[in-house]
């Protein structure tokens, strides 16, 4: 594997560190001296029939966290992505070959991808972004503290038409910072964007940050960005799981869940996208705390999901709830524009409208930098997974245009997307958001005209 001088890979620090891709140096970043070499592979499998799917499930049961599905087995002919720990590779690959289950090796050195992604900087290089948000680079990944400081620094820049505040603390006590952009007025529709409920999907917070910066400070020629900031109120929560996100910087780059403790298990964390109170506990969720899709011991067991729901319900019950026109949750990876439902193969009655605007949004993405996104319901084009935030936004809050977007890429880098993808993904998502919000404005205008005609 590529050995960069001065890099350090520690052995697993905690028993529940799922991937073992831990970086445990006291400065948190950059990791400085590599002592052990643990070469993880990511492979993409092409199951042809049911027996292949059964084989994969039985291997997963046998090897537990040494074999982690990044894209779960669902039906024959749908690709499956798996991370394999070095210990299990010699046993598993021959079995796959024997069974005729074809696979491509996406990477045979995940560690090198992780270290290439990290900014090469020392503690002395870390700028004080509170002094000037302009020092904050939009083309690299940032720690939670940096993002949080950057958001605080935005207040002076954008007041009085925006505000930055905490919606409550995480399990480990970090404030969850959100930004409101645009005037708070009961007459304005609201667009909500959250990102990073899954800690390792770094491109999602980076994209939300990109959108915030472009809405606050649009390019001089960007008339539509000004219009959007003046017609809507935006709520953007760039890091919905700060504890998990911090953990991916300090201990385990591939951590997914929150960081809560459980009474009867040494494993930590809950899948924040299985924890919402709408068909909670249904298909595609686990009741075992050590699993990646652990749903928690009750709906909203996690302070992180609770804080979001409370903001929407308590503080804005009379205003925000009815005004929420669009709910977007940013994830990665796969390039999917997903609509509800995730808990069932059925689709909502207005599914054609959701697909129509989703398709227009993804066409705008394609025109921007060429990326192709697939549009459809989560259960139908990805897999069944209940208790997701998008289903809750639609099923409980009644938000018509509720989507989950699985950002770049389609698997070449997967979660470890190099930082040079940030601005292209940001541009694409900005164009998608622009298309969506303009379509929704048009739709609302049409509806208002119709109402006037009949009254």
- Judged by CB, which is closer to Zn ion: 182, or 426? 426
Binding mask 320-339 for ligand 0X9 (x = CB under 6 A): -----------x------x-
154 binds, among Zn ion, ligand 0X9, none (CB under 5 to 8 A by kind): none
Pick one of 273, 362, 425, 437: the residue that binds ligand 0X9 (CB under 6 A). Answer: 273
- Judged by CB, which is closer to ligand 0X9: 364, or 384? 384
Instruction: Say how many residues touch ligand 0X9, by CB under 6 A.
Output: 14
Pick one of 248, 275, 307, 378: the residue that binds ligand 0X9 (CB under 6 A). Answer: 378
Name residues contacting Zn ion, limited to 384-443 (CB under 5 A): none
Pick one of 331, 394, 413, 434: the residue that binds Zn ion (CB under 5 A). Answer: 331
Instruction: Say how many residues touch Zn ion, by CB under 5 A.
Output: 3
Binding mask 280-319 for ligand 0X9 (x = CB under 6 A): ----------------------------------------
Binding mask 145-184 for ligand 0X9 (x = CB under 6 A): ----------------------------------------
- In the complex, what is the shortest distance from the CB of residue 38 to ligand 0X9, in angstroms, rounded to a whole number? 23
- Residue 385 contacts residue 173 (beta carbons within 8 Å): no
Stretch that binds Zn ion, among 126-134, 144-152, 196-204, 303-311 (CB under 5 A): 196-204
390 binds, among Zn ion, ligand 0X9, none (CB under 5 to 8 A by kind): ligand 0X9
- In the complex, what is the shortest distance from the CB of residue 2 to ligand 0X9, in angstroms, rounded to a whole number? 27
Q: Is residue 198 within the footprint of Zn ion (CB under 5 A)?
A: yes
Pick one of 385, 397, 399, 417: the residue that binds ligand 0X9 (CB under 6 A). Answer: 385
Residues annotated as catalytic (active site), given as ranges? 406
Residue 248 backbone dihedrals phi, psi, to 5 degrees: -70, -20
Pick one of 44, 198, 253, 259: the residue that binds ligand 0X9 (CB under 6 A). Answer: 198
Q: Is residue 71 within the footprint of Zn ion (CB under 5 A)?
A: no
What is d(CA 363, CA 14) in angstroms, rounded to the nearest whole number?
44
Q: Is residue 257 within the footprint of ligand 0X9 (CB under 6 A)?
A: no
Q: Which two structure tokens, joined as six digits, stand for 93?
A: 């690959």
Q: Is residue 342 within the footprint of ligand 0X9 (CB under 6 A)?
A: yes
Stretch that binds ligand 0X9, among 27-35, 47-55, 312-320, 384-392 (CB under 6 A): 384-392
Name the residue among 203, 209, 231 with its Cα closest to residue 326.
231
- Judged by CB, which is closer to ligand 0X9: 201, or 304? 201
Name the residue among 114, 101, 3 with its Cα closest to residue 52.
101
Name residues contacting ligand 0X9, limited to 62-121 (CB under 6 A): none
- Judged by CB, which is closer to Zn ion: 250, or 273? 273
- In the complex, what is the shortest distance from the CB of residue 333 to ligand 0X9, in angstroms, rounded to a whole number? 7
- The partner residues of 104 in beta bridges, in order of sequence, read 44
- In the complex, what is the shortest distance from the CB of residue 410 to ligand 0X9, in angstroms, rounded to a whole number? 12
Print the SS3 string covering the chain.
CCCCCCCCCCCCCCCCCCCCCECCCCCCCCCCCCCCCCCCEEEEEECCCHHHHHHHHHHHHHHHHHEEEEECCCCCCCCEEEEECCCCHHHHHHHHHHHCCEEEEEECCHHHHHHHHCCCCCHHHCCCCCCCHHHCCCCCCCCHHHHHHHHHHHHHHHCCCEEEEEEEECCCCCEEEEEEECCCCCCCCEEEEEECCCCCCCHHHHHHHHHHHHHHCCCCCCHHHHHHHHHCEEEEECCCCHHHHHHHHHCECCCCCCCCCECCECCCCCCCCCCCCCCCCCCCCECCCCCCCECCCCCCCCHHHHHHHHHHHHHCCCCHHHHEEEEEEEEECCCEEEECCCCCCCCCCCHHHHHHHHHHHHHHHHHHHCCCCEEEEHHHHCCCCCCCHHHHHHHCCCCCEEEEEEECCCCCCCCCCCHHHHHHHHHHHHHHHHHHHHHHHHHHHHHHHHHHHHC
Quickly tell me which residue has 């400081």 as its tokens. Answer: 149
Interacting residue ranges for ligand 0X9, rule: CB under 6 A: 198, 201, 273, 331, 338, 342, 378, 382, 385, 388, 390-391, 404, 406
Interacting residue ranges for Zn ion, rule: CB under 5 A: 198, 201, 331
């Amino acid at each position: 594997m590529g050995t960069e001088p001065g890099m350090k890979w520690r052995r697993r620090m905690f028993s529940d560190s799922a991937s073992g891709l831990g970086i445990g140096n006291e400065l948190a970043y950059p990791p400085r001296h590599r002592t052990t070499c643990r070469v993880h592979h990511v492979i993409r499998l092409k199951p042809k029939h049911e027996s292949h799917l059964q084989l994969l499930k039985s291997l997963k049961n046998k090897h537990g966290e040494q074999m982690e599905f990044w894209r779960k087995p669902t039906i024959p002919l749908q690709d499956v992505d798996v991370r394999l720990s070095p210990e299990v590779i010699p046993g598993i690959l021959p079995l796959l070959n024997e069974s005729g289950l074809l696979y491509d090796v996406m990477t045979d050195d995940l560690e090198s991808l992780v270290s290439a992604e990290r900014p090469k900087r020392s503690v002395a290089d870390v700028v004080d972004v509170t002094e000037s948000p302009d020092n904050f680079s939009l083309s690299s990944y940032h720690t939670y503290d940096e993002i949080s400081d950057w958001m605080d620094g935005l207040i002076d820049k954008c007041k009085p038409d925006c505000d930055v505040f905490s919606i409550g603390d995480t399990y480990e006590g970090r404030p969850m910072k959100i930004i409101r952009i645009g005037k708070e007025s009961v007459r304005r529709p609201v667009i909500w964007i959250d990102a990073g409920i899954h800690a390792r999907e770094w491109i999602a917070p980076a994209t939300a940050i990109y959108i915030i910066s472009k809405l606050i400070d649009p390019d001089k020629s960007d008339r539509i960005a000004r219009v959007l900031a003046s017609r809507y109120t935006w709520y953007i929560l760039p890091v919905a799981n700060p504890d998990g996100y911090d953990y991916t910087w300090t201990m385990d780059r591939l951590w997914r869940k929150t960081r809560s403790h459980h009474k009867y298990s040494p494993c930590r964390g809950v899948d924040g996208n299985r924890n919402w109170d709408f068909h909670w506990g249904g298909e595609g969720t686990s009741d075992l705390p050590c699993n990646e899709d652990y749903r928690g011991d009750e709906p909203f067991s996690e302070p992180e999901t609770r804080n979001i729901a409370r903001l929407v319900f308590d503080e804005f019950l009379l205003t925000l709830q009815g005004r929420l026109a669009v709910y977007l949750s940013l994830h990665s990876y796969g390039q999917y524009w997903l609509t509800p439902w995730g808990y069932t193969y059925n689709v909502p009655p207005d599914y054609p409208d959701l697909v129509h605007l989703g398709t227009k949004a993804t066409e705008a993405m394609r025109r921007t930098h060429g990326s192709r996104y697939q549009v459809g319901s989560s259960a139908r084009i990805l897999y069944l997974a209940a208790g997701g935030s998008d289903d809750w936004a639609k099923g409980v809050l009644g938000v018509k245009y509720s989507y989950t977007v699985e950002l770049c890429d389609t698997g070449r880098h997967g979660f470890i997307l190099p930082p040079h993808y940030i601005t292209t993904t940001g541009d694409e998502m900005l164009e998608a958001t622009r298309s969506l919000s303009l379509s929704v404005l048009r739709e609302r205008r049409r509806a208002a005209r119709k109402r006037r005609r009949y009254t």
